[in-house]
Amino acid sequence: MDMKCKTQHKDDGSTFYTACRCNCGGSYQCIIKANVKDGKVISVEPDDRYNYNCGREDAYMEEEDLQKVRIQRRPCVVGLTWHKYAQLPERILYPLKRKEGTERGAGEYERITWDEALDTIASKMIESREKYGPLSIISPYMPNETYERIMSYWGAGAEGWGWCSYDAARLMAQMITGGEGWEVQNWSSSSGADMLTHSKAIVLWGCDPTVGHQGPAHAFAWYIKLARERGKPVIIIDPRYSMAVRTLADQWIPIKPGTDVAIMMGMAYTLFEADTYDKKFIEKYVEPVGFQKFKDYIMGNGDDKTPKTPEWAAEKCGVPAETIRALAHFVWDNEPCWTYAHWSLSRKSQGEQVISTFAALQAMLGNWGKPGGGPAIHPGGQVQDLPMGYFSTTYSEPGPYKVPKLFRSHYWAQAVLLLDDYKSGKISAEEYMSSVGWRADKSLVDQFNPRFLFWGGGSKPHASNHLVTACDTASDQIKAINKMDFIITAHSIMTPTVRYADIILPVQDWIWEGSDVSRTAPYGVFEAVQGNPGVVEPPGETKQWVWIYVEICKRLGVDPKNFFRYYTGKRSWEEDWENGLREMYHDVEEYYKGRGKTIPTYDNFQNGEFLNCDELEDQPLTGFVPQMKENKPFKTPSGKIEFYYPLFEDESQRGKSEHYTFDGKLIDNLPADWKDMPSSPEYKVGRHGMDDPKSKEYPIMLLTSHSRYRVHYVHWINPWLRGHVYRHRVWINAVDAAKRGIKDNDKILVYNDRGKIIMPAYVTSRIMPGTALIHQGGNYEPDENGIDRGASPNTLLGGDKASNFTPARATNLVQIEKYEEANV
């Protein structure tokens, strides 16, 4: 192929390449070509460094080029409009302090100096530790690993555990394979190139790759389209008729949300019944006792004596038995079939069972680590031993103080509010800990006294807008916020959450305003290392996020080198930071040098040259390489894949502060009380789902899918992604709408016992009856009656304290009515 790879030239000072670093699922892979004038990004273009000036990229590409992902790293609409987001009037440019006498949430602030802001923060932290003890300083959702590192040296602080994305997978991957919950790159056969090259068919569960990118912009969806054009059939299982169904699928299978385990078990029954499953794989790689328990349960020889036939599954999931049976034969007959269960399946009650059942089904198909077989557990696909991460926080062991994990981070507000019930004697310590996802020593309950709220999401300059992203209603979070003595946040935009801070620290935008080196997020399906050279000067007095932590360290008496090892205190901050970037990139150079490969120099890299890791691999990446290719054992007691977890049957272990694998590794997504978690794959009716008794009162199951025009909440206020581009409406099935007298665009009231929102209706047949959809990330904008007119679906989430806390549970039950002032 005549590939033209255009590189950046800085001599005219007007054109720069930089990596898009949004947290979209394919983070850091897309390239933005920025045109700069008078210190401002005036326009952007897509990446043009591969296949330059080609009208249709694949027309000029050979098979090897596709396999090595020699494609333009084009950004999506979010990346192409990010410069407008960074230039919004709502941008925070200076340190701010809440005006004396004003209420939190009013958004009334006055400008202060950095010294005043940082000195105040440090003095308030010291005061809180002295008056209320070390467990008085906490962070909300999301966990803040950088705050945690400082606290480990300072000797105070408490923290939550768990994220929004795939904690159920992190937990079950550790139970099934023994690998730690963050070893994502080891779990999967997940590269889009692997799928295109080796698969005979594709089955996607709960996945819209035109929105959830998992690769440069829509490149993963493009690879699926290329596969389909080559005659590889595509099936999508989803309660929505999504854009992916419309543009990529040969067959759409609508399913009741939260019942995916049933269809998987119906497929497993079909394969067992026909004796068509990979017995050689099972014998070699799967621990036999657990697999026999799984088989007995499926075939009706378990405790419930119920065969999990396709007819049984059809009653649970709403998919016809003949469709389930045909799907099972389809994936077997089209081996290897690229089969992928997206995160959305496990972001509900009993999400752990989705992961374990899917992993068992993939084992029956022999798909673990098989080229073309799809993820065994979760998409990953990174170069496994590439020595690169957040160099400022991973270079050495943390300090001597172990920051305790006192609550599931989504339920940080419940940890604050329910504490009063425990201290007043309304609930016991055990009930309290069980309700908040406690994962620490019981004795700490009486020492827990949260008074100081330190922002979440510490390594992200846009932090966490937890009022709209924490999977718990904003009303409870605000109650918890108002119980705090002091709140600080670092952010770039005045969000609903930021408005409740006492001090706000302005941070640089990490795409445009600071230099950095970044690696593809571990759950992408393509691999790259990207540079951010710093396209424009930081506006106002915005600062780089690591600098902020270094300055806090200095004021707390913590050696800044414990946080940032390149800090000297002698050179300028910019020199120290640049030295860190060079050393980190040098490690990458040495890694590839050891493999006989040459990559661009650091200077050339930051000047626009590309580091495409897929191009440097001989074959597309697949998962479980040590086990499948080197015959090394899994990190389990048996050395094999395990589907039986005796820990969950051992009542002597319930309530202990931490749990460990047989070889001493912390099981880092398991709370002290795992509640109703079964010890092997099992179908359990999910709470707050369509079969919950509560559905009599709230008969519509609410889904909260991601929007094409936002990354979580980011870009909600971007004018280029509003108006005719995107209208925030609730999807409601035409049948459900007709019952309620609702027509398209009518204002409707959506409510439950967590909150109320008002928004327009999108009446459609693209979603199953009995379900509704509000895209995640809408602003929280309560009126004088507390009704959210933003409308954020988060307002309606939370409230389930009866089942295990691992899944984020981004769904709930609601009622919908046509809006009239009188009915609210």
pLDDT tens track for 255-287:
999 999 999 999 999 999 999 999 999 999 999
Q: What is the pLDDT of residue 382?
A: 60
Tell me the average pLDDT across 689-717.
Answer: 94
The pTM of this model reads 0.95
Residue 655 in this model has a pLDDT that exceeds 70: yes
What is the SS3 assignment for 10?
Answer: coil
Question: Where residue 186 falls among pLDDT bands split at 50, 70, 90?
Answer: low
The three-state (H, E, C) secondary structure of 112-180, written as one string: CCHHHHHHHHHHHHHHHHHHHCHHHEECCCCCCHHHHHHHHHHCCCCEEECCCCCHHHHHHHHHHHCCC
Give the confidence band of 521 by pLDDT, cuts at 50, 70, 90: low
* DSSP string over 45-95: EE--SSSTT-SSGGGG--HHHHHTT-S-----HHHHTHHHHHT-TTB--S-
Please check the confidence at residue 457 and state whether its pLDDT lies above 90.
Answer: no
Pairing of strands 730-733, 812-818: unpaired
Contact by Cβ (8 Å): 466, 479:
no
Is residue 695 over pLDDT 70? Answer: yes
Average pLDDT over residues 570-594: 90
Residue that has been written with the tokens 């931490």 in this structure: 658
The separation between the first and the last C-alpha atoms of the chain, rounded to the nearest angstrom, is 65
Q: Among 275-279, 428-432, 562-566, whose mean pLDDT is lowest?
A: 562-566
Query: What is the overall mean pLDDT for the chain?
Result: 90
Classified by CATH at the fold level, domain 107-164+400-506 comes out as Rossmann fold (3.40.50)
Q: What is the pLDDT of residue 614?
A: 86
Per-residue confidence (pLDDT) for residue 9, from 0 to 100: 38
For CA atoms 807, 689, 802, 814, give the dihedral sign.
positive
**pLDDT tens digits, one per residue of 15-70:** 999 988 877 766 677 889 999 999 999 999 988 888 888 878 888 888 899 988 89
Q: Which tokens belong to 798? A: 């939370």
For residue 750, CA distances in Å to 689, 730, 759, 773, 795 come to: 16, 9, 8, 11, 10
Supply 103's token pair: 């209420």
- Position 471 pLDDT exceeds 80: yes
Is the per-residue pLDDT at 243 higher than 90? Answer: yes
Q: For residues 752 and 698, is the Cβ–Cβ distance under 8 A?
A: yes
Please give the CATH architecture assigned to the domain spanning 179-377: 3-Layer(aba) Sandwich (3.40)
Q: What is the mean pLDDT of residues 483-499?
A: 96
- Neighbouring C-beta atoms of residue 557, cutoff 10 Å: 10
The pLDDT of residue 391: 43
CA distance 510 to 564: 18
Q: Which H helix or E strand runs over 32?
A: strand 31-37
Residue 680 CA: distances (Å) to CA of 290, 293, 649: 7, 7, 10
Domain 15-87+510-539+566-616 has CATH 3.30.200: yes
Distance of CA 437 to the CA centre of its chain: 19
What integer is the mean pLDDT of 574-595?
90
Q: Work out the percent of the chain whose per-residue pLDDT is above 90.
A: 68
Residue 3 has pLDDT above 50, yes or no: no
Return the bridge partners of 487, or none: 453
Q: Which amino acid makes up residue 66?
A: L
What the block records as the tokens of 343 is 């995160």
229: enclosing H helix or E strand:
helix 219-229
pLDDT at 184 > cutoff 70: no
The string of DSSP codes covering 605-618 is: HHTT--EEGGGGSS
Where exactly are the structural domains of the chain? 15-87+510-539+566-616, 107-164+400-506, 179-377, 693-823
Instruction: Please report the pLDDT score of residue 820 as a whole number.
Output: 82
pLDDT at 523 over 80: no
528-533 and 40-46: which strand pairing?
A: unpaired
Mean pLDDT of 334-342: 94
Least confident of 151-165, 180-194, 358-372, 378-392: 378-392
What is the structure's pLDDT at 5?
A: 40
Specify whether the CB–CB gap between 104 and 484 falls below 8 A. Answer: no
Paired tokens of 66: 């596709």
Contact predicate 438/406, CB 8 Å: yes
pLDDT at 592 over 70: yes
| Residue 515, pLDDT score | 87
Give the pLDDT confidence score for residue 612 in this predicted structure: 87
pLDDT value of position 372: 93
pLDDT given for residue 353 in this prediction: 96
CATH code of the domain made up of 693-823: 2.40.40.20
Identify the weakest region by mean pLDDT among 171-180, 384-393, 525-534, 710-719.
384-393
How many residues appear in the chain? 824
Question: In the prediction, which pLDDT does 7 show?
Answer: 39
Confidence of residue 190 (pLDDT cuts 50, 70, 90): low
Indicate if the pLDDT at residue 189 is higher than 70.
no
| CA 366 vs CA 267, 371, 376, 489, 628: distances in Å | 15, 10, 9, 48, 11
CA distance linking residue 437 with residue 450, whole number of Å:
16
In three-state secondary structure terms, 590 is helix
Is the pLDDT at 663 greater than 70? The verdict is yes
pLDDT band of residue 383 (cuts 50, 70, 90) is low
